[in-house]
Amino acid sequence: MINAKSISTDLAALRANSPLVHNITNFVVMNNTANALLAIGASPVMAHAVEEVADMAGIASALVINIGTLNPLWVEGMIKAGIAATAKGIPVIFDPVGVGATPYRNEVATQIIEKCKPTLIRGNASEIMALAKENVATKGVDSTVSANAALDAAKNLAVETGAVVVISGAEDFITDGKQVLTIKNGSPLMPKVTGMGCTASAVLGAFAAINKNTLLAAAHGMAVMSICGEIAAKKSAGPGSLQMHFIDTLYNLSDKDIADLFIA
Q: Is 195 annotated as a binding residue?
A: yes
Nearest to 205 by CA among 64, 90, 83, 24: 64
Q: Is 15 annotated as a binding residue?
A: no
Q: Does 229 bind a second copy (CB under 8 A)?
A: no
- Answer for which of 193, 202, 218, 219 binds a second copy (CB under 8 A) is 193
Work out the widest C-alpha separation in the chain, in whole angstroms.
47
21 or 157: CB nearest a second copy: 21
Q: Which region, left, alpha or beta, applies to residue 176 given φ > 0 means left and ψ of -120 to 50 means alpha?
A: alpha
5 or 142: CB nearest a second copy: 142
Give the integer Cα–Cα distance in Å for 156 and 137: 19
**Could you tell me how many residues of this chain bind a second copy (CB under 8 A)?**
65
Q: Does 71 bind a second copy (CB under 8 A)?
A: yes
Q: Is 254 annotated as a binding residue?
A: no
Residue 218's Cα: distance from chain center in Å? 8
End-to-end CA distance of the chain: 10
The minimum distance between CB 121 and a second copy, in angstroms, equals 20
Q: Does 52 bind a second copy (CB under 8 A)?
A: yes
Q: Does 239 bind a second copy (CB under 8 A)?
A: yes
Q: What element of type H or E holds 63?
A: strand 62-66
Stretch that binds a second copy, among 43-51, 121-129, 202-210, 255-263 (CB under 8 A): 43-51
* 8 A C-beta contact, residue 46 and residue 86: no
Q: Does 187 bind a second copy (CB under 8 A)?
A: no
Q: Is 56 annotated as a binding residue?
A: no
The minimum distance between CB 79 and a second copy, in angstroms, equals 15
Contacts of a second copy in 93-122 (CB under 8 A): 98, 101-105
106 or 179: CB nearest a second copy: 106
- Answer for which of 2, 34, 79, 163 binds a second copy (CB under 8 A) is 34
Provide DSSP, 156-222: HHHHHH--EEEE-SSSEEEESSS-EEEE----TTGGGSTTHHHHHHHHHHHHHHH-S-HHHHHHHHH
Q: Does 28 bind a second copy (CB under 8 A)?
A: yes
Helices 30-40 and 4-17 cross at an angle (nearest 10°) of 100
Q: Which region, left, alpha or beta, applies to residue 242 given φ > 0 means left and ψ of -120 to 50 means alpha?
A: alpha
Angle at 195 between CA 190 and CA 197, to 5 degrees: 70
Site residues for a second copy per CB under 8 A = 20, 22, 26-32, 34-35, 38-39, 43-52, 55-56, 59-60, 68-73, 98, 101-105, 138-142, 191-195, 236-241, 243-252
User: Which positions make up the binding site?
Assistant: 46, 122, 168, 195
